[in-house]
Amino acid sequence: MTGEPQRLDRLDRIAVRGLRARGHHGVFEEERRKGQEFLVDVVLGVDTREAARTDDLAHTVHYGVLSERLVEVVEGEPVDLIETLAGRLAEVCLADPAVHEAEVTVHKPEAPIPYEFADVTVTILRRRQ
């Protein structure tokens, strides 16, 4: 592998899906006060060849530790928009040197919409610069 990151479609993927945490994000006072459940999906673009060759966790993403950090963000400082929350989560993913790209989806199934709906999501893709 050269020193430059590959595109997500050419990298291996590690995914954590349906990570649940309670946060107080939203534009409305009621959302901030009561809080609600958010679900997070992350798909990471990683080169796992060295980890596979050595069978060593040090050469890949520790998804347990990553999940803990993601939950801390969701449970942490409130933001108005789930776009902002998704951006913060992507920053956490990209802080791991093994991660070249991160696709983050934030689900807000309890969004304040006065109609029946299944889910509201924002999905972003961020790449290491």
Q: Which residues are catalytic?
A: 108
Say whether 24 sits in a helix, a strand or coil.
coil
* Residue in the block written with tokens 């990298």: 11
| Closest by Cα among 53, 83, 60 to 11 | 60
CB 57 within 8 A of CB 51: yes
Within 10 Å of residue 107's Cβ, how many Cβ atoms?
21
